[in-house]
Amino acid sequence: MNTVQPRRPSGFSEYLPGEQIEFNRLLTIIRSTYEKYGFSPLDTPDLELTEVLLAKGGGETEQQVYSFTREGSDTSLTMRYDLTVPLARYVAEHQSDLVFPFSRYHIGKVHRAERAQAGRAREFYQCDVDTIGSTSPAVDAQFPAVINEIFEQFGFGEFVVRMNNRQILNGFFEGIGAAAFSEQILRTIDKMEKISHDTLLELLAGIGLEQQQIEKIIAFTSLTGSNDEHISQLRNLEVSSDLYHEGIDRLEKVVSALRDMQVPEHRFAIDLKIARGLDYYTGIVYETVLVDYPQVGSVCSGGRYDNLASYYTSMKLPGVGISIGLTRLFYAMRELGVIKTDQKSPASVLVLPIDEAHQTAGFGVATELRVAGINTLLNTEYGKFGDRMRYADRLGVKHVVVIGDDEAAQQVVTLKTMETGSSEQLSVAGLVARLA
Amino acid sequence: MNTVQPRRPSGFSEYLPGEQIEFNRLLTIIRSTYEKYGFSPLDTPDLELTEVLLAKGGGETEQQVYSFTREGSDTSLTMRYDLTVPLARYVAEHQSDLVFPFSRYHIGKVHRAERAQAGRAREFYQCDVDTIGSTSPAVDAQFPAVINEIFEQFGFGEFVVRMNNRQILNGFFEGIGAAAFSEQILRTIDKMEKISHDTLLELLAGIGLEQQQIEKIIAFTSLTGSNDEHISQLRNLEVSSDLYHEGIDRLEKVVSALRDMQVPEHRFAIDLKIARGLDYYTGIVYETVLVDYPQVGSVCSGGRYDNLASYYTSMKLPGVGISIGLTRLFYAMRELGVIKTDQKSPASVLVLPIDEAHQTAGFGVATELRVAGINTLLNTEYGKFGDRMRYADRLGVKHVVVIGDDEAAQQVVTLKTMETGSSEQLSVAGLVARLA
């Protein structure tokens, strides 16, 4: 038969089993932590009506979507390119059936037809979590707490959630008479750490700011010190803006709540350089950096917004949330050699009856182990023993249970531990107790 | 602002939180059972190259896919319409990196542009599980064992995995001189239970079979009795076909293995009417029916095939597997009122500080509960107490923990149990112990 070369479209990755197991381990940490904080799971269609999904229109986004109209249909469909717009559509569509504050998480793939390059996929997982319909600063504080629990379990070393409040930034710009330029200043601050000081000065001058305003902005975003020192320095600045002072009050409440929730002080840091590019944030903003791998950039970002779904409903829906771009994070950690992919089976044990005569005993042992909650693989390929042990080794299972004539005669099984190469004989009950 | 009506494309469903929680509970049962049997997780792109995905070509499938070429691109992409073809492509593409037998599961959405009708979605979940690269009958037997564990946990009442072996059917047709008509007879048998006896006779005659052959086929597919009775009746028939007798031997081994794996006898039944329509099955075939809801049809089907990936590789890849169409099953069970969707939050507890003065205590209690592994939602919307209790009620949480002046003075919390309406005061440690 003529065969077609099996291959994927460019920019569409998939994992080998060892990678997938590790990826799923991270997904499970995210999912279970989101649920521990009471966020409900949500799932929306992969395809949306183009007219609805792109209601906002314009911009880079529209050029990067997978949109199409099927032959014989007059409906244009688009694959979702993020999970925020589908959330807005969902909340607006189902608002009468939802209970507010509505806390949901959504883990799913999104698609963007970006220029393909290393580490930049056209299909990737987003892990979003948001609370809609609350303006409480205590709700803002839950997100760094969630990040703290997740990254502690990830085991990628130390990390810091850097926080700022758009109210403080916008209030400050108001105070120095630069309110009209807020958006452009925010976008420039967002690039601050990636550009030289001279470029920064040029960009700020290019916006149309006066020399004095530029100096104030640079001094302001360069404040350093502990969280408490940040708060007191901010309070000591004479800024004539209600928004500014409201912003400080809120940020202080968030800091205090994080302490109440036992989030270690070194895991969150007020940083006035954090601005976030997106224009829809209106309150607190977060970015998370891995202390040992700063080159990876922010691994979890988000913030508060005043109005989630203005394109779909006149109901005002304030909210706050964060997102983990797991595909990108996984790629970076894999490249850095931080992620291990030796375990290629979810089974920790492989049960090996020596031949068909011992198959019944093998089934019995595998069943006992599974009943005890132990993931167990059974192998009934009766080839050479050496080949079968190599199979176990390549799969990365921790233990092999061998059942042959000797074992049958003595009513035991032989437990081989792959790492040490050691063997011991145990009763089935003893085996279950040992591995449980 | 002008708003766009928030809505979805026809045939694309999504769940409210209570439904999603229940759907995910079923997904978790499937996933954890697949892993308990040592199947590795797998995920493939939502989009494949059209040329690769439709290598087989022809048929109904091609008319039902979502295919498109983006503007400015010359690559035609297609959304996957099942998980079998992506598995074939994956195994062929990565064969040198995989360890065989390769046991994998794949839970994911697939898309088919079918005529939309009640319960028939254009986007739905498949939950596939297969072992590739083994011809062992012991491997065949693992699948009814997996189904048994999953449906036991689902709690949809009793169920039976009906089994047959294509070798027995094809061998029998060979024995009565009807081998040339095998495929058409199989497809007719597959419809047997949905059509009248007269229609059945007509269809069989229409194939070109002789009266005597038709009578033999009807007698054969009408055999009844226990599994052992089936085996002995099959053996007693004088059928001159090696394939037939090989098929009986294999089926008997599967029955024996299922007993060894402690699958209750009433959960699997040899049934010679089970044929499965698809032409690529070559060995054992399975269908699963819910005893109390036979109208739902088969809720989990599958079987053995000789060659998974002949369109992509010359390497022969025999395999066996099953699939649960969870979206369809969930829809049917929901319609039948079997699925309850009262719990709209993954949290079992809602912590309610009465006002901001008790927020710190609230954070502390919520943190203690979460550390103990209890999914906990915190509410800091300081409105009327009645409204807040209604919020708890609408979410379907089991317990509410209230913290106010009285509680603070006595260093306790009040635990309200929603179902009974009862209240009691407990220390925080006592609360954790109670709810853990």
Q: How far is CA A369 from the centre of its chain?
A: 34
Residue A10 lies in a domain: no
Percent of the residues in chain B that have a pLDDT greater than 70, as a whole number: 98
Are both B309 and B183 inside the same structural domain?
A: yes
Q: For chain B, how many residues are written?
A: 436
Determine whether the interchain pair A75/B4 forms a contact, defined as Cβ–Cβ distance below 8 Å. Answer: no
| Element holding B124 (H helix, E strand) | strand B123-132
CATH code for the domain in which residue B252 is found: 3.30.930.10
Which pLDDT band, with edges at 50, 70 and 90, does B418 fall under?
A: very high
Q: How far is CA A192 from the centre of its chain?
A: 24
Chain B stretch 225-254, residues whose beta carbon is closer than 8 A to a beta carbon of chain A:
none
The whole-angstrom separation of Cα B221 and Cα B230 is 11
Q: For the residues of B258-300, what is the DSSP string, one character each? A: HHHTT--GGGEEE-TT---S-TTEEEEEEEEEETT-GGG--SE
Are both A262 and A293 inside the same structural domain?
A: yes
Residue B63 lies in a domain: no
Are both A423 and A315 inside the same structural domain?
A: no
Are both B251 and B400 inside the same structural domain?
A: no
- pLDDT of B57: 76
B380 touches chain A (CB under 8 A): yes
The whole-angstrom separation of Cα B169 and Cα B284 is 10
Question: Closest to A49 (Cβ–Cβ): which among B7, B39, B99?
Answer: B7
Residue in chain A closest to B4 (alpha carbons) equals A312
Determine whether the interchain pair B8/A363 forms a contact, defined as Cβ–Cβ distance below 8 Å. Answer: no
User: Is the pLDDT confidence value at B9 over 80?
Assistant: yes
The whole-angstrom separation of Cα B59 and Cα B152 is 37
Query: What residue numbers bound the domain in which A101 lies?
Result: 17-44+80-335
- CB contact at 8 A, A88 and A44: no
Chain B stretch 393-412, residues whose beta carbon is closer than 8 A to a beta carbon of chain A:
394-395
Look at residue A322 and give its three-state secondary structure: strand
Question: Closest to A376 (Cβ–Cβ): which among B38, B101, B395?
Answer: B38
Are both B245 and B379 inside the same structural domain?
A: no
Residue A228 lies in a domain: yes
Are both A378 and A284 inside the same structural domain?
A: no
Are both A240 and A142 inside the same structural domain?
A: yes
Q: Which residues of A touch B46 (CB under 8 A)?
A: 46, 79, 109, 111, 123
Residue B104 lies in a domain: yes
Chain B stretch 77-96, residues whose beta carbon is closer than 8 A to a beta carbon of chain A:
77, 79, 88-90, 92-94
Determine whether the interchain pair A5/B262 forms a contact, defined as Cβ–Cβ distance below 8 Å. Answer: no
Tens of pLDDT, residues B95-108: 999 999 999 999 99
Question: Closest to B66 (Cβ–Cβ): which among A23, A70, A381?
Answer: A70
Residue A29 lies in a domain: yes
Chain B stretch 35-64, residues whose beta carbon is closer than 8 A to a beta carbon of chain A:
35-49, 51-52, 55
Question: Closest to A6 (Cβ–Cβ): which among B13, B93, B134?
Answer: B93
The whole-angstrom separation of Cα B321 and Cα B167 is 17
- Phi and psi of B300, rounded to 5°? -165, 115
- pLDDT of A10: 92
Last residue of a domain, one of A335, A364, A386: A335
A428 touches chain B (CB under 8 A): no
Number of domains forming the structure of chain A: 2
Are both A306 and A201 inside the same structural domain?
A: yes
A134 touches chain B (CB under 8 A): yes
Low-confidence ranges of chain A (pLDDT < 70): 1, 58, 116, 118-120
pTM: 0.96
Residue A68 lies in a domain: no
Q: Are strands B376-378 and B349-353 parallel, antiparallel or unpaired?
A: parallel
Residue in chain B closest to A2 (alpha carbons) equals B311
A344 touches chain B (CB under 8 A): yes
Residue B287 lies in a domain: yes
Regarding an ipTM greater than 0.85, the answer is: yes
Tens of pLDDT, residues A190-207: 899 899 999 999 999 999
Are both A96 and A245 inside the same structural domain?
A: yes
Are both A225 and A284 inside the same structural domain?
A: yes
